[in-house]
Amino acid sequence: MKKLLPLFLTLILLACAAGCDLRPDRLVAIDPPDMPVTAVPSATPEGWTTPEPAETDEVVTTPTPAPTPEVYVPASVEEAISVYEATPLDYESVTREAEQPIEPIPEPRYTMGADGIYRSSESANDNQAIIMLTGDLMCQTRQQEVAKTSRGYSFNGSFAYVKDIFATADLVVGNLEATLCESAPYMAELIEVEGRPHLNAPATFLEALRYAGYDMVVMSNNHNIDTGVRGIYDTLDRVDEYRLIHTGLFRNEAECRYTVVNVDGINIGFMSYATYFNHKEEHLTSEGVRVLLNPYSKEIVARDVAAVKAAGAEYVIVYIHWGVEYMNEPEEQQYIWAQELADAGVDYIIGSHPHALQPYDILTAADGRQVPIVYSMGNFVSHQEKVVTKDTLILRIVIEKTEDGRVYLANEGYISCRVFKTFFGKDYAVVPVVTPYNGGIYSQYFGPAYDRITQIMGDKIAALGSL
């Protein structure tokens, strides 16, 4: 019985980690180079103790874990602010009517089932999942200025040239790098707060994402706290209103730290982490950082991978916000974190934050798995003007499941694109630079963009299409 006791406890711990009520009992520190230390939770559930081995001949009984305290869920946004916010950010609130979508919000392809897994009404269940992933979806000053109309803000034109491409995917995912808080100034009204860019946007930016064909957004990034706790709640409310799947930003500790989507019969798990929050985490309490955000740590990822697999995920994709802005080469710390992610059991790693493309590579995990990574996907849409911020791509991966249940990456490649300030009347438009994906249109900028993108990405992944 003594020998079985540690095994028994281990099984209990794994079962606990599979749920969404994960209550850490201590804090560890994230300390990336040239970045602030951010408090994050450990992987150990609260209330667990390991009993000493029995010293007598008495029968050893199985220990009972301490009851898990009831998960705290704030009753209102005001209550959440009182618990999770230490100090308000330095801007004046705005009074305005809520932005309304110009067109009715369409029904989503994916809805959550009773088991917490999202499934598509269009699924062929043929065990072949075609997934398209993109980089940063930004909504900045000049984008907002040109999008403003008498009926509201319309950003649809940015995605007019990629909409048909996304329609060929079973799932489309991007990194939403903006808050959507109507009581805070939009970026077109206030560019910076406390010396940092203030990425707050009209909620109708989400209308454009639904128009484009996005099914899901990941949300952990350095602008999460730009509009405080109220902004976090408002942003999540609006993402829910526009019926987008999401992960990486949370209202309370009852919400799962991962999302599982069944894509044509294959359960794909998604997580989203950030290594940096623009120093604005100082405006949150330690509880606010722990509950609302998703700071990266090796321990957190190990916990979440175990939990998402216990929840049914057969393949795990992680977005991570990291690196140095405007650089086409990763910094050393990204290589370290990438290996930690692979060793934790992640199957595909997507980087964001540098606003520039960074290379594709394949890592060997501790268990021997081959783990693809794109160190940075760059901006997918933004108002930024540096050449390095305009080159982008659509990553297309195909995941398949064999008859015996083995899930694997069957194919992958990318479609080279470029962001144009104006393209045939469309403002801040993302345009594929290769045929057959651009419909045969031409620009003198296509060739140089394609050369830059393919050189950065390297020869380990296929460039789809041609000039």
Quick check: is 77 in a domain? no
Rounded CA gap, 397 and 400, in Å? 10
Q: What is the tens place of the pLDDT at every residue in 357-371?
A: 999 999 999 999 999
Res. 58: pLDDT tops 90: no
CA-to-CA separations, 179 to 205, 211, 444, in angstroms, rounded: 10, 19, 35
Quick check: is 65 in a domain? no
Res. 14: pLDDT tops 60: no
Helix locations, 244-348, DSSP H = 286-292, 298-310, 332-344
Q: What is the tens place of the pLDDT at every residue in 29-56?
A: 333 334 333 333 333 333 333 334 344 4
Quick check: is 198 in a domain? yes
pLDDT value for 361: 98
pLDDT value for 30: 35
Q: What is the tens place of the pLDDT at every residue in 172-197?
A: 999 999 999 999 999 999 999 999 99
Tokens of 150: 């008498």
Q: Please count the residues of the chain.
A: 467
Considering the chain, what percentage of its residues have pLDDT values greater than 90? 84
Quick check: is 182 in a domain? yes
Res. 454: pLDDT tops 50: yes
Supply the range of the domain harboring residue 448: 96-464
C-beta of residue 32 within 8 angstroms of C-beta of residue 275: yes
Quick check: is 159 in a domain? yes
Rounded CA gap, 345 and 363, in Å? 12
pLDDT value for 7: 43
pLDDT classification of 70: cutoffs 50, 70, 90: confident
Rounded CA gap, 325 and 85, in Å? 28
Quick check: is 3 in a domain? no
Mean pLDDT of 427-434: 98
Res. 72: pLDDT tops 70: yes
Handedness of CA 453, 179, 29, 348 (dihedral sign): negative
DSSP class of residue 323 equals S
Rounded CA gap, 329 and 352, in Å? 13
Rounded CA gap, 185 and 241, in Å? 21
Res. 103: pLDDT tops 70: yes
Considering the chain, what percentage of its residues have pLDDT values greater than 70? 85
Number of domains in the chain: 1
Handedness of CA 16, 288, 256, 303 (dihedral sign): negative
Quick check: is 341 in a domain? yes
C-beta of residue 267 within 8 angstroms of C-beta of residue 314: yes
284: CATH: 3.60.21.10
Q: What is the tens place of the pLDDT at every residue in 319-355?
A: 999 999 999 999 999 999 999 999 999 999 999 999 9
Q: What is the tens place of the pLDDT at every residue in 270-303?
A: 999 999 999 999 999 999 999 999 999 999 999 9
